[in-house]
Amino acid sequence: MTRSRRFSKWVSKALDYFTNSDDFPPVFLLWGDENRVLPLSTGEAFCYRSLPDRFEVVEKCGHLVMREKPDVVSTWMDLFLQMDLRKSEPPVRVAL
Protein backbone atom coordinates (compact mmCIF):
# COMPACT_ATOMS: atom_id res chain seq x y z
CA MET A 1 0.00 0.00 0.00
CA THR A 2 1.39 3.40 -0.96
CA ARG A 3 1.99 6.17 1.53
CA SER A 4 -0.71 8.27 -0.12
CA ARG A 5 -3.25 5.43 0.17
CA ARG A 6 -2.38 4.90 3.86
CA PHE A 7 -2.81 8.63 4.51
CA SER A 8 -6.15 8.63 2.69
CA LYS A 9 -7.40 5.73 4.81
CA TRP A 10 -6.19 7.42 8.02
CA VAL A 11 -7.96 10.69 7.15
CA SER A 12 -11.10 8.84 6.12
CA LYS A 13 -11.14 7.07 9.48
CA ALA A 14 -10.54 10.34 11.37
CA LEU A 15 -13.39 12.02 9.48
CA ASP A 16 -15.72 9.25 10.65
CA TYR A 17 -15.76 10.88 14.09
CA PHE A 18 -16.63 14.42 12.97
CA THR A 19 -20.16 15.60 13.70
CA ASN A 20 -21.72 18.90 12.79
CA SER A 21 -23.74 20.26 15.72
CA ASP A 22 -26.22 23.15 15.83
CA ASP A 23 -23.68 25.48 17.45
CA PHE A 24 -20.97 24.67 14.88
CA PRO A 25 -20.27 27.45 12.34
CA PRO A 26 -21.49 27.01 8.76
CA VAL A 27 -19.51 24.42 6.80
CA PHE A 28 -18.72 24.65 3.10
CA LEU A 29 -17.01 21.62 1.62
CA LEU A 30 -15.18 21.97 -1.70
CA TRP A 31 -13.70 18.82 -3.25
CA GLY A 32 -11.66 18.27 -6.40
CA ASP A 33 -13.03 15.52 -8.62
CA GLU A 34 -9.48 14.39 -9.49
CA ASN A 35 -8.21 14.39 -5.89
CA ARG A 36 -5.76 11.48 -5.62
CA VAL A 37 -4.91 12.13 -1.95
CA LEU A 38 -8.51 11.94 -0.75
CA PRO A 39 -10.70 10.64 -3.58
CA LEU A 40 -14.13 12.07 -4.34
CA SER A 41 -15.75 9.01 -2.76
CA THR A 42 -14.14 10.05 0.55
CA GLY A 43 -15.53 13.57 0.16
CA GLU A 44 -18.99 12.25 -0.62
CA ALA A 45 -18.88 9.92 2.38
CA PHE A 46 -17.72 12.78 4.61
CA CYS A 47 -20.51 14.97 3.24
CA TYR A 48 -23.06 12.27 4.01
CA ARG A 49 -21.86 11.97 7.62
CA SER A 50 -21.09 15.60 8.44
CA LEU A 51 -23.98 17.30 6.61
CA PRO A 52 -22.22 20.50 5.57
CA ASP A 53 -24.31 23.51 4.66
CA ARG A 54 -22.91 23.31 1.13
CA PHE A 55 -20.93 20.70 -0.82
CA GLU A 56 -19.43 21.46 -4.20
CA VAL A 57 -17.25 19.39 -6.51
CA VAL A 58 -14.71 21.28 -8.61
CA GLU A 59 -14.18 19.61 -11.97
CA LYS A 60 -10.70 18.86 -13.31
CA CYS A 61 -9.15 19.65 -9.96
CA GLY A 62 -7.05 17.69 -7.50
CA HIS A 63 -6.39 17.96 -3.75
CA LEU A 64 -5.31 21.62 -3.58
CA VAL A 65 -8.48 23.20 -4.93
CA MET A 66 -7.56 26.68 -3.70
CA ARG A 67 -4.21 26.57 -5.51
CA GLU A 68 -5.42 24.90 -8.68
CA LYS A 69 -8.64 26.88 -9.19
CA PRO A 70 -8.48 30.04 -7.03
CA ASP A 71 -11.07 31.90 -9.12
CA VAL A 72 -13.60 29.08 -8.71
CA VAL A 73 -12.95 28.94 -4.97
CA SER A 74 -13.40 32.71 -4.66
CA THR A 75 -16.67 32.58 -6.57
CA TRP A 76 -18.06 29.75 -4.44
CA MET A 77 -16.92 31.44 -1.21
CA ASP A 78 -18.66 34.68 -2.22
CA LEU A 79 -21.85 32.75 -2.99
CA PHE A 80 -21.62 30.81 0.27
CA LEU A 81 -21.16 33.95 2.35
CA GLN A 82 -24.28 35.44 0.75
CA MET A 83 -26.45 32.38 1.51
CA ASP A 84 -29.20 32.67 4.06
CA LEU A 85 -28.03 29.86 6.34
CA ARG A 86 -31.05 30.18 8.61
CA LYS A 87 -33.01 28.29 5.99
CA SER A 88 -32.50 24.59 6.38
CA GLU A 89 -31.64 23.78 2.79
CA PRO A 90 -30.02 20.39 2.15
CA PRO A 91 -26.45 20.39 0.84
CA VAL A 92 -26.40 20.99 -2.89
CA ARG A 93 -23.85 19.65 -5.35
CA VAL A 94 -23.41 21.86 -8.39
CA ALA A 95 -20.49 21.97 -10.80
CA LEU A 96 -19.29 25.47 -11.67
pLDDT (tens digit, 9 = 90+) per residue, 4-47? 677 767 766 766 677 777 788 888 999 999 999 889 998 898 88
Question: Is 94 a member of any domain?
Answer: no
Q: What's the pLDDT band for 88 if we cut at 50, 70, 90?
A: low
Q: Is residue 93 part of a domain?
A: no
**Helix 3-15 crosses helix 40-50 at what angle (to 10 degrees)?**
10
Domain residue limits at 40: 3-18+28-82
How many distinct structural domains can be found in the chain? 1
Assess if residue 48 is contained within a domain. yes
Q: Does residue 88 lie in a domain region?
A: no
Return mean pLDDT, the chain.
81
- DSSP, residue by residue, the chain: --HHHHHHHHHHHHHTT----TTSPP-EEEEETT-SSS-HHHHHHHHHHH--SEEEEETT--S-HHHH-HHHHHHHHHHHHHS-TTS-PPP-----
